[in-house]
Amino acid sequence: MATIRLIRGDITRLPAEAIVNAANSSLRGGGGVDGAIHGAGGPQILRECIKWTEKHGLLPPGEAMYTTGGKLPAKYVIHTVGPVWRGGDNGEDQILANAYKNSLRLAEELGVQQIAFPNISTGIYGFPKERAADIAIRSVAEYLRRGSRINEVFFVCFDKENERIYHEKLGSDTLEIK
């Protein structure tokens, strides 16, 4: 059995085994949660991202890679690129679902049992928050129901609006997945 938990706060302070970064394809840091993770995690994260992109190129939307947590309390940072909202007819829903599922798959490969997600693509990328929450919850729940070693997933909301949306959609601050 796995548990999905909703919390409001700063993902960079969460002592989860892995946190997810809503990154851009260049993995060079940016605004929002990406900038916060790079800032709090220190230069080691950026160095690992640069090394990865020099070898592999840009990280495509929906895909995921990882670095160590640097100075963060998390052991790993899983970087994923969500879609830029372009009206909803350009595969954005599937790309967002893939970002969650590929992050979970990578976490399992790393042996992680606890992972925390921010609200991917709902900031500067403009994905509608309600729609993104539906996709996030559905994608994570489906992944966990298939049988996963991950036993705890956090949705970390930085703002009151996303917290309210996730609370309404989850029905509480905790959801047990069987």
CATH number at residue 19: 3.40.220.10
pLDDT above 80 for 87? yes
Mean pLDDT score, 71-89? 97
pLDDT of residue 177: 82
DSSP state letters, 111-140? T-SEEEE--TTSSTT---HHHHHHHHHHHH
pLDDT tens digits along 29-77: 988 999 999 999 999 999 999 999 999 999 999 999 999 999 999 999 9
Is residue 128 within 8 A of residue 164, CB to CB? The reply is no
Q: Which residues contact 138 (CB under 8 A, 6 or more apart)?
A: 97
Higher-confidence residue of 148 and 20: namely 20
- Provide the domain limits for residue 157: 2-177
Is residue 61 within 8 A of residue 82, CB to CB? The reply is yes
Higher-confidence residue of 1 and 66: namely 66
Distances (CA, A) of 149 to 2, 7, 45, 110, 114: 9, 22, 26, 11, 9
pLDDT of residue 178: 74
Residue labelled with tokens 């905790």: 174
DSSP state of 12: G
The runs of H, that is alpha helices, within 19-159 are: 32-41, 43-56, 92-109, 129-145
pLDDT tens digits along 104-156: 999 999 999 999 999 999 999 999 999 999 999 999 999 999 989 999 999 99
pLDDT of residue 174: 85
Predicted TM-score (pTM) of the model is: 0.96
Q: Cα–Cα distance between 8 and 2 in angstroms, integer? A: 20
Distances (CA, A) of 162 to 44, 118, 120, 178: 30, 10, 11, 25
Catalytic residue among 10, 34, 93, 159: 34
> Active site includes 34?
yes
pLDDT of residue 1: 86
Number of independent structural domains in the chain: 1
pLDDT of residue 169: 95
Mean pLDDT score, 160-169? 96
Q: Cα–Cα distance between 35 and 13 in angstroms, integer? A: 14
